[in-house]
Structure 1
Amino acid sequence: MAKGQVFVSMALALLVFMHVGGIRGEMRGGGEEGDRILALPGQPKVSFQQFSGYVTVNKVVGRALFYWLTEAVHDPLSKPLVVWLNGGPGCSSVAYGASEEIGPFRINKTASGLYLNKFPWNTEANLLFLETPAGVGFSYTNRSSDLFDTGDRRTAKDSLQFLIQWMDRFPRYKTREVYLTGESYAGHYVPQLAKEIVTYNAISKHPIYLKGFMVGNAVTDNYYDNLGTVTYWWSHAMISDRTYRQLINICDFSRLKESNECESLYSYAMDQEFGNIDQYNIYAPPCNNSDGRTNGCTRHTIRLPHRPHPIFRQMSGYDPCTEKYAEIFYNRPDVQKAMHANTTKIPYKWTACNEVLNRNWNDTDVSILPIYRDLIAAGLRIWVFSGDVDSVVPVTATRYSLAQLKLSTKIPWYPWYVKKQVGGWTEVYEGLTFATVRGAGHEVPLFKPRATLQLFRSFLSGQPLPTKS
């Protein structure tokens, strides 16, 4: 069987698996109480409430999205609702955002249980992790063609329908402030969903109280993202002067699919000049497999830099195998039962990323900058941040893209601090705040959790990042 056919067969099997489990979960009924998580297997005792389950966003074809809500540790009724989206396209917010970035728990090395994250974002807000689009994680669709013909527009519209119906299930959130957050290809998802909400609010008697959004290492604009990525490679001595000049002169960075000559140049740069590095954090040592081969990024991944890759790093305070633990933990029948997912025990594997969706993403905006202009005009609070050692969606790409907005500066560039150390640098513009996180890779909260929590606090308060600790 061909490699592509294997992916298709796996996707269809996963489709059936998620469909049956999801329908069973929704038949529980009973509003939010039917979605309450009493406790996850091996979970430490906590004071906050948790809920998870399915919301059907299209009854005609049977598309349903899976969520996990972890409410605020203290006084949740006074705290805002923060929605987190991971990118890919095709990757799970449960696997990444919830389990290795901002959620309250981490999975232990044996995947036998959980331990507490030292810097969870639910100290500041109620966190809603949404697996979108259908086909990601536990989310499902009854129409198999959805897996081979999806993209930005359907993802945004389905996510809006999810929020509308989810708030009917959780009416206490209907008057709560809402913020959208995410990373990587969620640089598309988050602004696009924000625009859908703004449009919906203009005609609805029951608006969603969206106040703003924040995205990290965000895919933003084809041309400037690609130009900024190549510039980052050159300025960080990852490629030669000759290769840099050839890439600049030969490649048309505005195209979704490059010419064969340009693709060959990218391949040469990665295969011959990058060396044995982790492109998602260029200063982290990569991992060698037992046979000596390197766990590196494929050309497809680097040209479409939209999802974290299972690269194993050896760093102080960082466990390199978190994705592996997630794939074991969320395939456990007792975990799925506790989370109201796959209660039929069909033995298909849950995966952190759906490769079929990623390979068949047929609708993508060339640039999100027009949406930024609209949402700035709508008065939303908008923050963009960048881990500065990521070479996949690097800080130069984001700076090139945001520069096209031509915003006036309110507070000029300055270093911001956490625990008496420079956490990064920031500039406040009219309508948007930009910040770097020093020493962080692609998944910023994973590498710099304390600094990122400070960033989140400042974003929620609407105050500039601190000039001193």
Structure 2
Amino acid sequence: MKQKQIFFHLALILCYFMVVLVRGMEVAEEADRIVELPGQPKVSFQQFSGYVTVNHVAGRALFYWLTESPQNPFSKPLVIWLNGGPGCSSVAYGASEEIGPFRINRTASGLYLNKFSWNSVANLLFLEAPAGVGFSYSNRSSDLYDTGDHRTAKDSLEFIIRWLERFPRYQDRELYISGESYAGHYVPQLAREIITYNAKAKHPINIKGILVGNAVTDNYYDNLGTVTYWWSHAMISDQTYRQLMSTCDFHRQKESDECESLYSYAMDQEFGNIDQYNIYAPPCNNSDGSSATTRRSMRLPHRPHHPMFRQMSGYDPCTEKYAEIYYNRPDVQKALHANTTAIPYKWTACSEVLNRNWNNTDASILPIYRELIAHGTRVWVFSGDVDSVVPVTATRYSLAQLKLATKIPWYPWYVKRQVGGWTEVYQGLTFATVRGAGHEVPLFKPRAALQLFKSFIAGKPLPKS
């Protein structure tokens, strides 16, 4: 009898702690709820944002912003979005000018809706990684000078584990990871970390696939494809092309001074005043007519992907400017539960400190692709075809090295009866181009990008008609 009483009391104690734990999770989730952002239109979906500490010793904490789907969010997958750089913010780009539900108006006084937001299909989690990007921070200042691919992947995995503890309703949900540019490293590397973690975890993360756009993939083939793109699109002369091909060793992480001089000559003397991230879009100009862009050395393969302002019919050319005004507003930061530790620098779209001091970078992501494909992970790679920074030729050269068998040969895919781009389905990987899109595909071709995303989530080839 006494034994039964002991078991009964132990069960009561266990139930009590379970209730306390669940209520603690609910409190933590509720504390991150965004009631309303300044100047925000009325919406029917829920939003949450805040910090997850990924390293208590160093005091590293990553900032996130979750925008749930307005229709049936509990039945839809979770998509984590990462921007590249390295050092650029997913809040600035992914959330505010690409796939998020809001756009910032010209005066940075408020927001308006993006009718092509990807949260119509999935719940979107924008992550600012690594520490030092956007609102994410570290209390150990040296972290900003020795960050690289490896720590970024491990911290991002730790973020996901801790975030799912805070939001247990997502623990069994299908998870996809997406991003662009240098996130061509982040996304596959994080997927591999998750798969390694799952092999030992009691509660594995339900990762299903990755989707990367204009992705930095392989040092040699990215560099070769970039120079080829410049020449084939008449951006550089025959002479400069030949000199680059004969002088530069595209395998190297850091090029020779002679090679760097050729790159500088090409950009300063032959490119002209163009937006390298969309070669057919005039750049955003200052009021006096001068270019608002700052020309930066593009050190291949790991080049500063600091966005240049763009101008194109139907698009606002200066959205990055508006973001840097809006997200530095104290009322916006308060609504986002951001900058709670009074970070000693302004929020910026990209961190030059991180970019200049990147500590390690994988020479090629292709071995990770092979691992993911072997594991059965859905892998899609897309490419806006008017980007000269990580161009379509670079991606095609890189993917060709996988030597995958073709399941569905090359064909044009359609959106609204127009050719959206071209695609080929391989055994284990789908490649697609987006016609007329620059480096940030959803910015320039939002309808086509949304169709591509819908097909990816459904696991179906892009429409042939």
TM-score (structure 2 length as normaliser): 0.92
Instruction: Please name the residue that 2:167 is paired with.
Output: 170
Which residue of structure 2 lines up, in the alignment, with residue 53 of structure 1? 50
**Residue 108 in structure 1 maps to residue 105 in structure 2:** yes
Q: Aligned partners of 1:236 and 1:199: how far apart in 2? A: 42
Which AA in structure 1 matches 2:386?
V
Compared CA separation, residues 344 and 187, structure 1 to 2 (3 A):
closer
**1:434-454, CA deviations, whole angstroms, 9 ceiling, x for partnerless residues?**
000000000000000000000
CA contact (8 A) 2:25 2:165 kept: no
In structure 2, what residue type is equivalent to 1:429? Y
CA drift at 1:221: 0.3
Deviates more, 1:414-423 or 1:270-279: 270-279
Distance 1:346 1:166, change over 3 A: closer
Write the mapping of 1:382-401 to structure 2, written as runs, cut at 5 A. 382-401=379-398
Supply the distance in 2 between the matched residues of 1:404 and 1:344 (Cα, whole angstroms): 46
Deviations 1:336-385 (A, max 9, x none): 11111124667842111110000000110010001011111000000000
Equivalent in the alignment of 1:440: 437
Name the SS for the 1:385 alignment partner. Answer: strand
Matched position secondary structure for 1:150: coil
Q: Measure how far apart 1:299 and its partner are.
A: 3.9
Q: Among 212, 216, 231, which residue is 1:215 paired with? A: 212
Deviation for aligned residue 1:31: 1.7
The one-letter code sitting in structure 2 at the alignment partner of 1:141 is S
Residue 316 of structure 1: how far off its partner (Å): 1.5
Q: How many residues align?
A: 441
Partner of 1:69: 66
Residue 79 to residue 416, structure 1, CA distance change in 2 (3 Å): same
Residues 124-161 of structure 1: CA deviation (Å, up to 9, x unaligned): 00000000000000001011000000100000000000
Provide the residue aligned with 1:256 in structure 2: 253
CA distance in structure 2 between the aligned counterparts of 1:306 and 1:71, rounded to whole angstroms: 31
Structure 1 match to 2:346: 349
Deviations 1:413-462 (A, max 9, x none): 00000000000000000000000000000000000000000000000000
Contact 1:409 1:427 in 2 (8 A): yes
Alpha-carbon contact 1:111-1:325 (below 8 Å) kept: yes
Q: Could you tell me how far apart the structure 1 residues matched to 2:413 and 2:429 are? A: 16
Offset, 1:29:
9.3
SS of aligned partner of 2:107? coil
Give 1:272 deviation, angstroms.
Answer: 1.3
Structure 1 match to 2:297: 300
Counterpart Cα distance in 2 of 1:112 and 1:28: 34
The residue correspondences of 1:204-283 to structure 2 (distance < 5 A) are 204-283=201-280
The answer on 1:156 being equivalent to 2:156 is no
Pick one of 287, 302, 316 that aligns with 1:319.
316
| RMSD (Å) for aligned C-alpha atoms | 1.6
Task: Look up the SS of the partner of 2:262 in the other structure.
Answer: helix
Q: How far apart, in 2, do the equivalents of 1:301 and 1:121 lie?
A: 31
Do the aligned residues in 2 keep the contact of 1:389 with 1:441 (CA within 8 Å)? Answer: yes
Is 1:186–2:183 an aligned residue pair? yes
Match of 2:401 in 1: 404
Q: Distance in 2 between matches of 1:358 and 1:201?
A: 31
1:453 equivalent in alignment to 2:450: yes
Other-structure match for 1:9: none
| Contact kept in structure 2, 1:279 and 1:297, CA below 8 Å | no
Unaligned stretches of 5+ residues in structure 2: 1-23
Is residue 28–residue 34 contact of structure 1 (8 Å, CA) maintained in 2? no
CA distance in 2, matches of 1:457, 1:354: 32
Give the aligned partner of residue 131 of structure 1.
Answer: 128
Q: 1:347-386 maps to which residues of 2 (within 5 A)?
A: 348-386=345-383
Q: Would you say the 8 A contact 1:387–1:442 is kept in 2?
A: yes
Q: Secondary structure at the match of 2:297?
A: helix
Give the CA deviation at 1:268: 1.2
Give 1:81 deviation, angstroms.
Answer: 0.2
Q: Distance in 2 between matches of 1:216 and 1:419?
A: 22
Q: Percent identity?
A: 80
Q: What SS is found at the alignment partner of 2:412?
A: strand
Q: Provide the rounded CA distance (Å) in 2 between the counterparts of 1:229 and 1:214.
A: 21
The CA deviation at 1:261 is 1.1
Indicate the structure (1 or 2) with the bigger Cα radius of gyration. Answer: 2
* Aligned equivalents of 2:420, 2:306: Cα separation in 1: 22
Cα pair 1:63 1:140 within 8 Å, conserved: yes
2:55 partner amino acid:
N
Q: Are the structure 2 counterparts of residues 56 and 41 from structure 1 closer, same or farther at C-alpha, using a change threshold of 3 Å?
A: same
Q: 8 Å contact 2:283–2:317 — kept in the other structure?
A: no
SS in 1 for 2:48: strand
The whole-number CA distance in structure 1 between the counterparts of 2:463 and 2:41 is 33
> Counterpart of 2:9?
none
